[in-house]
Amino acid sequence: MSSSSTAPQKFDVFLSFRGKDTRRTFISFLYKELIRMSIRTFKDDVELKSGRRIASDLLMAIENSKIAVVIVSKNYPASPWCLQELEMIMDVEKKGSLIVMPIFYNVEPAHVRRQIEKVAEQFRKHEMRENYETVVSWRQALTNLASISGHCSRDCEDDLKLLDEITKRITDMLLFSATPPSHSISNQFGFDAHMKELYPLLELTSNEGVRVIGIWARGGNGRSALARYVYQKIFKKFQSHCFLENVKGIPHDCQMSNLRDEFLIRIQGGYSKMKTSGLIKTRLMSQKVLLVANNVDKLEQLDALSEDFNCFGPGSLVIITTQDKQLLLAFGIKVVYEVECLRCFEVRQLFRQIGFRERDLYVGSELSSPISGTESS
């Protein structure tokens, strides 16, 4: 896991759940879908090695996540470990650096909030084994969680519909954190104008070869926002797709192998790697693939990725974003979209329009600085 000399991994979503209730069912489907959508997701049995389920490791993962999805199942309140984990989640949420999304899975939200019925029985057992202060803090964490608007399985026809609702909400939250959420707001940011310029360059209907295009601007935040916006707009047109969030942030000591591993893991829809990359490449050769590599800053990174994207099927598209225009030219990328300016208005106003609570405003902080460059002629 992370050490003092290694930067902690960043996650979009942290999953908190009771394994015996949902690990083999709902959680397995939710996790697979989130990874398929290139949403970096922490799931304890994947991210932590056997025997290393340590509170400090989990706290670091929680603190480095954007959203915590807490699946409250029948036996979740019975687990001291789940309640300890929930207490950490709610403490981080209280600081304003985490969005918490509760999912009430085959339980009544009112029973959880008021801690009655089966939940009351579970806490009576905790009171027999744990000290008073610990149980009080667990009760408060559960009450605070149940006071947040979430999703309830009883309101959905089946798990598939529940899964769709959850993944859509998560995707929207992550998209709002980097891009404007509606047509009117996107106009104010200038995204609509940029998309009109970009669409002809993407040639989404092409079935010939692999197209590689660049998006260039001097600033970083706005360019990344545009990259995520483009990805969300077009990924459904491809059989496989992958968004590499921050290529230059990969540790330099083993950057090339880490970069290729990250791509191969993401593109296959999970974090347990196939025994050989050859199996993945064989599959991708017959597929139309979308790869967005964001924030590239070295030619070696493009060389490493090209070993894989040169094997994509006909009609595939690779988008490289960077603040170094010469890097794109040196790699031989002829189609480069130069971003003039992504106009961003004050973040608090944006999130007031889309209905987030004030404590959720932190997720839009990267939008507060405009970027500028030179418009292509």
Residues tagged active-site: 85
Question: Treating both helix axes as pointing N-terminal to C-terminal, what angle do 191-202 and 221-234 enclose, rounded to 10 degrees?
Answer: 60
C-alpha 22/C-alpha 155 separation (Å) is 18
Token pair listed for 342: 């992504």
C-alpha 242/C-alpha 234 separation (Å) is 12
C-alpha 128/C-alpha 119 separation (Å) is 15
Which strands sit side by side in the sheet containing 289-293, from one edge to the other? Answer: 240-244, 289-293, 316-322, 210-216, 335-338
C-alpha 75/C-alpha 52 separation (Å) is 23
Rama region for 78: left / alpha / beta (φ>0; ψ in -120 to 50; rest): alpha
CB 182 within 8 A of CB 288: no
Name residues whose C-beta falls within 8 Å of residue 37's C-beta, 6 or more positions apart in sequence: 167, 171, 235
C-alpha 260/C-alpha 256 separation (Å) is 6
Token pair listed for 169: 């909400």
**Environment class of 149 (CB within 10 Å of its CB; exposed 0-12, middle 13-18, buried 19+):** exposed
The amino acid present at 224, given as its one-letter code, is S
C-alpha 329/C-alpha 322 separation (Å) is 11
Please list the helix, strand and coil fractions of the chain in percent, rounded to the nearest 5, in that order.
55, 15, 30
C-alpha 86/C-alpha 146 separation (Å) is 11
- Among 65, 44, 53, 33, smallest CA distance to 270 is for 33
